[in-house]
Amino acid sequence: MKGAAAAPAPAPANLDDPSRTGTPPVPRALSVPQNRCDRVASSPSSPSAATAPEPLPKAELHLHIEGTLEPELAFALAARNGVELPYATEDELRRAYSFADLQSFLNLYYALMAVLRTEDDFADLAHAYLARAKQQGVRHAEIFFDPQAHTARGVPIGTVIDGLARALDSAEETYGISTRLIMCFLRDESAESALTTFEAARPYFDRITAVGLDSAEVGHPPSKFKEVFALAREAGLKCVAHAGEEGPPAYVWEALDVLGVDRIDHGVRSLEDERLVARLVADQVPLTVCPLSNVRLRVIDDLADHPLPAMLDAGLLVTVNSDDPAYFGGYVDDNFTAVRDALGLDRETLRTLARNSFRASFLDEATRERYLREVDANQG
């Protein structure tokens, strides 16, 4: 899986440059292009930016911070860190974003991570996401990160968490977005590696709200990670897991009954099992669905055939999220717009999805209620 990764370049001299300060040399404007996230939303029928209504306030609950690495920022960080990317231009890289399945996406995803080396890099990555999220109406973000994808490259877990935390600490003030961090284990790595990662993260548990499980699903059932999830629950952390994306409904059952998760990430294949749907409805287990991701990774052939309406009709607590937006053609409001257009969802259904996002979050009750009132007050 990681064989496709670019060979790490030797540490460049400029990393030790004494003139280098804590201020990231990557200009914010470079890392946060204003119009790229309109790739999906800017259909001919979309209102112009000048007349566009305020996007619905929403929480984003399924967002991999590494999946927000836009080609512009990847090239900027590559230059800063002396990493050679196997693409000559940003356009050439963007053309590589055509995936046959989850694994072909993951190959590129891990290759590009080679540019993330320092605390500044992780802080810049998170700032770039938060700036875009603000434009998309995000009021609360529960953000995944993959420590093993970085520690395997020699980047200490503290560098990753301290860099992300630096950006998240100022997110309320700078972007008006509350945040939580969710540490994911790579399910195609061993259970022992997950345990090692969990223990390495212990000094940072005050920064982490939940643990999760992601990466290549098929062949790596949730039960493989029973032990580390039990330890996480013992430590007072919430638990989530990707299940029922490419994997079968049986994986969703395992996530619920073996790992004891509070939320299922994706879960679109749950509809194949009536008894499972009844369980998810009865317990109101949230499902963090990612429509554009499902199409890009060929989980669903056509957005017009997405099971989102059927999931809502079944009474499931469904939310809409962006997953890896730099790679899948849109951030979270772009996903809202895309499902509205492809599935004919009316305004009230979109409001239900926005309300669900806060109901499914790990927010305290008072803050949740405040955000729900913002949804009700939105005139868009």
Q: Please list the active-site residues.
A: 245
- As measured in angstroms, the least distance from the Cβ of 63 to Zn ion is 8
324 labeled binding residue? yes
121 sits near Zn ion (criterion: CB under 5 A): no
266 labeled binding residue? no
64 labeled binding residue? yes
Helix axes 157-169, 119-135, angle to 10 degrees: 40
| Position among 60, 323, 333, 334 found at the interface with Zn ion (CB under 5 A) | 323
- As measured in angstroms, the least distance from the Cβ of 98 to Zn ion is 19
- As measured in angstroms, the least distance from the Cβ of 101 to Zn ion is 14
Dihedral angle over CA of 158, 164, 166, 170, nearest 10: -160
Query: Of 79-87, 113-121, 188-196, 322-330, which segment contacts Zn ion by CB under 5 A?
Result: 322-330
Query: Of 72-80, 111-119, 190-198, 317-325, which segment contacts Zn ion by CB under 5 A?
Result: 317-325
16 labeled binding residue? no
- As measured in angstroms, the least distance from the Cβ of 318 to Zn ion is 15
Number of residues interacting with Zn ion: please give it, by CB under 5 A: 1
Query: Of 13-21, 23-31, 250-258, 320-328, which segment contacts Zn ion by CB under 5 A?
Result: 320-328
Contacts of 357 (CB under 8 A, 6+ apart): 58, 59, 60, 61, 140, 319, 320, 321
In the bound state with Zn ion, the residue whose beta carbon lies nearer, of 189 and 323, is 323
- As measured in angstroms, the least distance from the Cβ of 274 to Zn ion is 25
189, with CB counted inside 10 A (0-12, 13-18, 19+), is buried
262 labeled binding residue? no
Closest by CA to 339, choosing from 379, 287, 293, 280, is 293
In the bound state with Zn ion, the residue whose beta carbon lies nearer, of 66 and 323, is 323
> Is residue 95 within 8 Å of residue 53, measured between CB atoms?
no
Token digits for 21?
A: 């300060």
- As measured in angstroms, the least distance from the Cβ of 217 to Zn ion is 10
Residue number with the smallest Cβ distance to Zn ion? 323
In the bound state with Zn ion, the residue whose beta carbon lies nearer, of 87 and 331, is 331
In the bound state with Zn ion, the residue whose beta carbon lies nearer, of 117 and 306, is 306
> What string marks each residue from 256 to 295 as x (binds Zn ion by CB under 5 A) or -?
----------------------------------------
Q: d(Cα 199, Cα 202) in Å, to the nearest integer? A: 5
> How many angstroms separate the Cα of 377 from the Cα of each of 205, 337, 351, 371?
36, 19, 11, 10
Sequence ranges of the binding site for Zn(2+)? 62, 64, 242, 323
Sequence ranges of the binding site for substrate? 324
Could you list the residues that contact Zn ion (CB under 5 A)?
323
Sequence ranges of the binding site? 62, 64, 242, 323-324
